[in-house]
Amino acid sequence: MDYFTPISAIIGGLLIGVAATLMLWTHGRITGISGIVSGVLIPNNTGKVWRTCFLAGLVLGPVGYIAISGQGLTIVTQASPLLSVVAGLAVGFGTRLGSGCTSGHGICGIARLSKRSFLATAVFIVTAMITVYITQHAMGGS
């Protein structure tokens, strides 16, 4: 376990929890990224300003980290561009089908003890396990 970093994981989890709580307290909204993105893309939808600012923060956060720490971020993927596009479309379809994403259901919904979110999160986890098994074992991945 070379990458086990409990302190940064705890800090990250606390920051996510605080951000989700502040969103609920200040806007009365669940911090579900798929809902925030779709709200920006839907024409004539209210709340575009806060949604756009939220998404800009997601993009600018790593930029700020790089500027402050002086370290670059290395992103390595073994997936082909085609597989990445197919996976992205499948995730998008799943979030529409499940009426939410992992952040909306897994973080905010479970915290509110939503039965629907417990079920959705269980489906996310089982689907991820099956996907890893298929891609890494059945299809001969590394």
The token duo for 100 is: 């939410």
Residue ranges per domain, the chain? 77-142
- CA angle at 39 for the pair 34 and 40, rounded to the nearest 5°: 105
Q: Is the pLDDT reported for residue 140 higher than 70?
A: no
- Mean pLDDT (whole number) for 135-142: 72
Per-residue pLDDT band for 105 (boundaries 50, 70, 90) equals confident
Q: What is the pLDDT of residues 74-99, one digit of tens each?
A: 778 888 889 889 888 888 888 888 78
Q: What is the pLDDT of residues 7-59, one digit of tens each?
A: 988 998 899 889 889 988 988 888 888 888 888 988 887 888 989 998 999 88
Q: Is the pLDDT reported for residue 142 higher than 70?
A: no
What confidence score (pLDDT) does residue 91 get? 84
Q: Which residues contact 36 (CB under 8 A, 6 or more apart)?
A: 51, 54, 55
Residues 55 and 35: beta-carbon distance below 8 Å: no
What's this model's pTM, rounded to 2 decimal places?
A: 0.71
